[in-house]
Amino acid sequence: MIEKQFLPLHQVVRHRRFSLGWWLVLVAVGVLLVLLLGRWPGRAVAPSLAPLPQDPFIQVYFNHSQAAVYTDPYRRIRRQGDDLEAVILATIASAQSSIDIAVQELNLPRIALALRDRAQAGVQVRIILENQYNRVWRPVAGADLEGLDDRDRGRQSERQRLIDTNNDGTITAAEVEQGDAVRILQLAGLPLIDDTADGSKGSGLMHHKFMVVDGRVVIAGSANWTLSGIHGDFANPDSRGNANVLLKITSPELAAVFAEEFSLMWGDGPEKQPDSLFGLQKPGRSPRPVFITGSQVTVQFSPLSETQPWANSTNGLIRDTLLTAGQSVDLALFVFSDQAISDALAQRSQAGVTVRALIDADFIYRSYSEGLDMLGAATPDHRCKFEANNRPWSQPIQAVGIPALPEGDKLHHKFALIDNVTVIIGSHNWSAAANHNNDENLLVIRNPTVAAHFRREFDRLLTDAELGFTQDLQNRLQRQRQACNL
């Protein structure tokens, strides 16, 4: 038997027969290892920034934060970011008497299981969902699958992979019972309604994303309680979730205000009496100041009928708050389509206030986007009509654009940072639909410690963002004008 002899690497390097070809092979293997290890879920990942101080009563968490790391519990990816689901789970676990939840969508099974466990421990749990998402997963194939648009087809695939815990491509009844959040809630007998409980086919959107625990803690922000809203998509391994924020606010007074909103929608719950109030069935309510130590906080809920003065609406509160800006306004928005808010920003810009805006790539260049106004541009819609009362800025700015996000992720934020002191945040998109149709919430928080977190998030998003009158925008405008013979 011949024993193989292996030379130490340093001797191999000196060996006369070690050719250039072998060097190239070693280099190629090294590059491959770097690439593989760079994408490996268990790779070493560290925070790139130090954590900021948190206010004792208003904590801020971003799922793309560079100051924290965690392991996505579903895709097993080690990544930067605050674990928003862990914040929710810890708050649920702390509940001693009651948990009231109003979220547009909930598909994370660990949250559903945590709610079941607290209910079994004697905690009162009540849940409101948007009717489109109050459904147990079912297989969709053939013509039914073909009939779905790309967005719904993607949702179906993502939900299937979330439930398919052994990843064998087949969903069993047991997997549905352990992996489908709505089914878990049903089996636990937890009281759950949606926005058809008022006897309608559903409000504009039940778009809230809040929870009230024990009448003293509020979880609120922009994040839906979903895989794509918090962690990222199975279809895009590089995805880190839509850019979102959660606030954890300890304040019995604020909790009472959110509990009032919940009660209007809840009515008698699942008892089938049409006494739940959603959308425009709810009474219009003015902004409510709330005392929280160290902060000035105002809260308002949507919608408000178009028959009422626009100034009294949630968008009116946004406009009035922006008009207080003396130095700077930074926006990170999913949608921005309210002309009156744009007009107010133009006024502050012309007065010397620095205005910058980042808007989601799917919405920034649409005909109704105020991002176009800020750039001094306008484009017709698919009917070749310009938006009524559209007013592009006479003094355009260039600091408007699209952040660089991982593939599959959206800029889902709805925040403004004013003078590095005041933050506008909530579920409320800056649109007419949010203002006049949807169930929404908005918070205005004046607190420099809280604002510092939003300062860091905006600066992160601004890095490598595509700003100004880009070639892509020029091409889009030219194509649309040519299509309309303009």
List Cα–Cα distances, 75 to 179, 391, 484, in angstroms.
14, 45, 46
- CATH tag, 55-272: 3.30.870.10
pLDDT at residue 272, rounded to an integer: 81
DSSP letter for 440, please.
E
Token pair recorded at residue 70: 């965690």
Contact 92, 190 (CB under 8 A): no
Contact 222, 426 (CB under 8 A): yes
Q: What ranges do the domains of the chain cover?
A: 55-272, 284-486
* Burial bucket for residue 433 (CB in 10 Å: 0-12, 13-18, 19+): middle
The CA-based angle 158-405-157, given to 5 degrees, is: 10
pLDDT at residue 24, rounded to an integer: 54
Q: Which helix (H) or strand (E) holds 453?
A: helix 448-462
pLDDT at residue 150, rounded to an integer: 81
Contact 206, 265 (CB under 8 A): yes
Q: How far apart are CA 242 and CA 195, in angstroms?
A: 25
pLDDT at residue 25, rounded to an integer: 52
* Burial bucket for residue 469 (CB in 10 Å: 0-12, 13-18, 19+): middle
Token pair recorded at residue 266: 């809840």
Q: Which residues of 182-210 are buried (b: 16+ CB within 10 A; e: fewer)?
A: bbbbeebebebbbbbbbeeebbbbbbbbb
Q: Which residues of 119-148 are buried (b: 16+ CB within 10 A; e: fewer)?
A: beeebebbbbbbbebbeebeebeeeeeeee
Q: Structure pTM?
A: 0.90
Token pair recorded at residue 319: 């406009």
Contact 335, 364 (CB under 8 A): no
Token pair recorded at residue 24: 């190239």
> Which of these, 323, 365, 366, lies nearest to 348 by C-alpha position?
323
pLDDT tens for the chain, residues 1 to 486: 333 333 343 443 444 444 555 555 554 554 444 444 444 444 578 999 999 999 999 999 999 999 999 999 999 999 999 999 999 999 999 999 999 999 999 999 999 999 999 999 999 999 999 999 999 998 887 767 777 888 888 888 899 999 998 888 889 999 999 999 999 999 999 999 999 999 998 879 999 999 999 999 999 999 999 999 999 999 999 999 999 999 999 999 999 999 999 999 999 999 888 899 999 999 999 999 999 999 999 999 999 999 999 999 999 999 999 999 999 999 999 999 999 999 999 999 999 999 999 999 999 999 999 999 999 999 999 899 998 899 999 999 999 999 999 999 999 999 999 999 999 999 999 999 999 999 999 999 999 999 999 999 999 999 999 999 999 999 999 999 899 988
Torsion angles phi and psi, residue 130, rounded to 5? -70, 140
Q: How far apart are CA 306 and CA 435, in angstroms?
A: 9
Please report where in the chains the tokens 């949702």 appear, as a residue.
Answer: 155
**For the chain, percent helix, then strand, then coil, each to nearest 5?**
35, 20, 45
Q: How many CB atoms lie within 10 A of CB 275?
A: 14
CATH topology of domain 284-486: Endonuclease; Chain A (3.30.870)
55-272 and 284-486 share one fold: yes
Long-range contacts of 345-349 (CB under 8 A, 24+ apart): 345/374, 346/373, 346/374, 346/391, 346/393, 346/394, 346/395, 347/323, 348/322, 348/323, 349/393, 349/395, 349/397
Token pair recorded at residue 5: 């002899």
> Which of these, 216, 230, 217, lies nearest to 106 by C-alpha position?
230
Token pair recorded at residue 290: 């709330």
Listing DSSP states for 260-316 in one string gives HHHHHHHTTGGG--S----GGGSPP---EEEEETTEEEEEEEE---TTS-GGGSHHH
Q: How far apart are CA 273 and CA 198, in angstroms?
A: 8
